[in-house]
Structure 1
Amino acid sequence: MSIGARGLGNHMARACAEAGAKALVLFDANEELGKESANELYQKTKIPVTFLK
């Protein structure tokens, strides 16, 4: 699943993880926020999360 790193995209990523997604890809123009969001999501879910700018 590929989603934005903040706002609605971040909430959708969390919902996808809870629903059983096997991996997530976050996209965002803000690299610092994107990496932070990806790391936080991985720490909470242990699902592989990749961030792309």
Structure 2
Amino acid sequence: MAQAKKIAFYAVIIFVAYTIIHSPARSAELVQVGFEGISDAAKSVGEFMTQLIK
């Protein structure tokens, strides 16, 4: 089972590297979308906490 996890991990790493090399602009867009999502979620949590305090 541990061997299968190791193989799957390396397959994902190879896929990510291939994607970045093959289409760096698209990869950058996906990373940007991910960080925007995290940022929006953090802002929403902060707003929620602020409303709880009021």
TM-score of the aligned structures, taking structure 1 as reference length: 0.34
More RCO (CA 8 Å, sep 6+): 1
TM-score of the aligned structures, taking structure 2 as reference length: 0.33
Larger radius of gyration: 2
**Structure with more of its chain in strand, by fraction:** 1
